[in-house]
Amino acid sequence: MTGLRTNRDYRLLWTGQVVSEAGFSTTMIAFPLVVLAITGSGVQSGLVVGAVAIAQLVAGLPAGALADRWPRKRIMLGCEAVQAFAAAVLVLALWWDVAGVGLLVVVAVVMGVCRALFEPAEEASLPLLVPAGQVASAVSLNAARTSAGQLSGTALGGFLFALGRFVPFVLDVVTHLFAFASLLFVRLPARSVTVRPPAHLGREIAEGLRWVWRQPRLRITTFCVVSLNLFFSAYYLVIIVLADGRGMPSGEIGVMAAMLGGGGVLGALAAPVLYRKISPYLLITGVFWALTVLAPLAIFVRSGYVMGLLFAAIAFLPPAANTVIGTYQLLNTPDELRGRLGGVLGVTGGLAAALGPALGGWLVEVLPGSAAVLACAGAIAVVTVATTLNRTLRGLPATSEPLEAETTGK
């Protein structure tokens, strides 16, 4: 990662976004607290928080197409500016005590749409900001950035809310303005392709979907990412319910969650080293096998701190697989399609992350805690065997090679 430390433009982008992530995570903690303070309704709290994810999913595919159509730096700048403005409006409304659930939903939707636009624009810009040999390090550092921002924002949210309902959103305004200022100084190289005149947005989205579907290696790697997201979000809820049912103190459960985040940060930092030393096939399948072995151990654990160590070990592994997958996909997708690739991955990953808690909740309703854990472990074991036997994944190269040769149906 030495090269990235000397890469002024990537450093500016990364620094701005780690601060922005902290502000966003603070807001996500503050949203339900504000709604509860105003209405006392848990249902309406869920509506506001859910509005962010729903807006991000609905806007995901169009946002990916727009990231290929519009200048990507302008998209990122616009997203930061709009989020700062939306948060500032909410600060004033809370200060004047005129904020209602409707305004909170609108602000949540704005934030979700902005994230849907920003993420594919940023991901598609990485191969222009850093040399091909450093893309893996950039992908892993971005994952560490997200985890670090979530950890710090989650810790800050409740504390700032105690100072005043509007205070978390003041921080959100400041963080987005800081990210905007950092982006202003990022020198994003010109794209190597000529941006085509705008066509019908639906046709552009369909073109991106066809591209992903026609690439066997993109299909299998996307399946791997979706499986990891679905497993983690379901398993996390199952373990929390299991811990609560065994009478673990809430403080220990909080430590468990923090150790999960810490494991993710450490895993993201270690991912480039693993990427360089282990072949893509062995690294991806090795992560799945390790999860298959570790996941059932939760049924034997009675201490929240030991469970936290297990969480940290489990969270340490996926960033390496995600780094391999993200690097391969970015380097082997034409620049004019990278935004749409990001949109597809954002929607599929987001759906998996949204369905996972519902699946986990259903499992703990119909099965005893230990049986629900084993059901999650069994599901990941099935995926592990499927990926291990997959010939396309086995042929994933250690170095990039053009995907056009794989394309079928043209």
Summarised one tens digit per residue, pLDDT across range 197-233 is 656 888 899 999 999 999 999 999 999 999 998 998 8
**Rounded Cα–Cα distance for residues 137 and 264 (Å):** 15
pLDDT in 10s for each residue of the chain, 410 residues: 557 888 999 999 999 999 999 999 999 889 999 998 998 887 788 889 889 999 999 999 999 999 999 999 999 999 999 999 999 999 999 999 999 999 999 999 999 999 999 999 999 999 999 999 899 999 999 999 988 887 787 778 888 999 999 999 999 999 999 999 999 999 998 876 555 565 688 889 999 999 999 999 999 999 999 999 899 889 988 988 888 888 888 778 778 878 888 898 899 999 999 998 999 999 999 999 999 999 999 999 888 899 999 999 999 989 999 999 999 999 999 999 999 999 999 999 889 988 898 899 899 899 988 999 999 999 999 999 999 999 999 998 875 444 443 433 33
Of 176, 195, 214, which residue constitutes the final position of a domain? 195
**Rounded Cα–Cα distance for residues 344 and 348 (Å):** 6
**Rounded Cα–Cα distance for residues 218 and 213 (Å):** 7
**Rounded Cα–Cα distance for residues 397 and 212 (Å):** 18
Residue ranges making up the domain that contains 262: 199-410
**Rounded Cα–Cα distance for residues 104 and 87 (Å):** 10
Per-residue confidence (pLDDT) for residue 233, from 0 to 100: 87
pTM exceeds 0.85, yes or no? yes
Written as one letter, the residue type at 266 is L
Q: Are residues 230 and 350 in the same domain?
A: yes
Radius of gyration of the chain (CA): 21
What is the DSSP code string of 241-298? HHHHHTT--HHHHHHHHHHHHHHHHHHHHHHHHHHHHS-HHHHHHHHHHHHHHHGGGG
Per-residue confidence (pLDDT) for residue 409, from 0 to 100: 35
Q: Are residues 407 and 331 in the same domain?
A: yes
Q: Are residues 237 and 255 in the same domain?
A: yes
Q: Which of 186, 201, 199, 183 is nearest to 63 (CA)?
A: 201
Of 170, 195, 220, which residue constitutes the final position of a domain? 195
Q: Are residues 206 and 71 in the same domain?
A: no
Beta-carbon neighbour count of residue 250 at 10 Å?
A: 10
CATH code for position 264? 1.20.1250.20
Number of domains in the chain: 2
Q: Residue 260, Cα to own-chain centre: how many angstroms?
A: 15
Q: Are residues 269 and 359 in the same domain?
A: yes
Per-residue confidence (pLDDT) for residue 150, from 0 to 100: 78
Residue the block writes with tokens 């948060």: 87
Q: Are residues 147 and 265 in the same domain?
A: no
Q: Are residues 158 and 279 in the same domain?
A: no
Residue the block writes with tokens 């062995």: 282
**Rounded Cα–Cα distance for residues 140 and 148 (Å):** 12
Per-residue confidence (pLDDT) for residue 116, from 0 to 100: 96
Q: Are residues 41 and 147 in the same domain?
A: yes
Q: Are residues 371 and 284 in the same domain?
A: yes
Q: Are residues 267 and 408 in the same domain?
A: yes
Name every residue whose Cβ is closer than 8 Å to that of residue 365 and which is 6 or more positions away in sequence.
Answer: none
- End-to-end alpha-carbon separation of the chain, Å? 39
Residue the block writes with tokens 């297990």: 310
Of 148, 170, 195, which residue constitutes the final position of a domain? 195
Burial of 124 (0-12, 13-18, 19+ CB in 10 A): buried
Q: Are residues 234 and 339 in the same domain?
A: yes
Per-residue confidence (pLDDT) for residue 107, from 0 to 100: 97
Q: Are residues 247 and 190 in the same domain?
A: no
**Rounded Cα–Cα distance for residues 377 and 133 (Å):** 35
> Which three-class secondary structure state does DSSP give residue 112?
helix
